[in-house]
A = this chain, B = another copy of it.
Amino acid sequence: METLLLTKAQVRALLRMPDVIDAVEAAFRAFNSDQVEQPDYMGLHLAPKGAEIDFKAALDRAGEMVSLKASSGGFRDNPARFGMPNGMGTVLLFDARSGALACVMDGSLLTGFRTGAAGAVSARALARRDAHRVGVIGTGTQARMQIRALREVMTIETVHAASRSPAGLDAFCADMQGEFGLTVVTGSPEEVAAAADILVTTTRATGVVVRADWVRPGTHIIAIGADQADKQELDPDLFRDARIVVDSQAQCAAKGELQHALRAGTADGLQTELGEVLLGRKPGRQNDTQITIFDSTGMAIQDTTTAAAILTRARAQGIGTSFNFFGQDG
Contacts and interface: CB of A to CB of B under 8 A. Distances in A.
The 8 lowest CB-CB distance pairs between A and B, nearest first, are A72-B99, A7-B327, A9-B327, A39-B42, A9-B329, A106-B325, A44-B59, A42-B57
Interface in A65-121: 66, 68, 70, 72-73, 75, 78, 81-82, 84, 87-88, 90, 92, 94, 96-101, 104-106
Given A37-B45, A321-B323, A90 B90 contact: no
A328 interface: yes
Interface of A: 1, 5-10, 12, 37, 39-48, 51, 53, 55, 57-59, 61, 64, 66, 68, 70, 72-73, 75, 78, 81-82, 84, 87-88, 90, 92, 94, 96-101, 104-106, 321, 323-329
A100 B81 CA distance: 13
A178 to B, nearest CB: 19
Contact of A325 (B7, B46, B61, B66): B7
A78 B53 contact: no
Contact of A39 (B44, B64, B105): B44
B94 A99 contact: no
Contact of A94 (B48, B70, B98, B101): B70
Nearest to A43: B39
Greatest chain B CB density within 10 A among A44, A68, A75, A321 is at A44
Nearest to A321: B323
Nearest to A81: B98
